Structure 1
Amino acid sequence: MSEITLIEAVALALQHAMEENPDVVVLGEDVAVNGGVFRATNGLYE
């Protein structure tokens, strides 16, 4: 099993939740195009 960072784990969990359920949304500041301060939401906008 490979090791991942906490931020990578958060990003993967968000991606999985959004793929499984179209009703899941992410709310917050700077979470869209730029991916937030830690880039945890990077790529989810697409």
Structure 2
Amino acid sequence: MIEEDLIAYREDCTEHRESPDAPATWNRRRATINGFYDWAEAEKLIDKR
């Protein structure tokens, strides 16, 4: 479920908004999201599948 949510969020940010994120903006946003999920997995707050 998490993967599908992230894909939908990416599509919204980069394609469906009135002013979509530029690629560099999305890359920064994605790095933050990935860092959060890596931390949450390391803390055993989520199972990354």
Q: One fold, TM greater than 0.5?
A: no
Q: Which has the larger radius of gyration?
A: 2
TM bucket normalised to smaller: 0.3 to 0.5
Q: TM-score, normalised by structure 2?
A: 0.40
Q: Which of the pair has the greater relative contact order for Cα pairs under 8 Å at 6+ separation?
A: 1
Flag the structure with higher helix content. Answer: 2
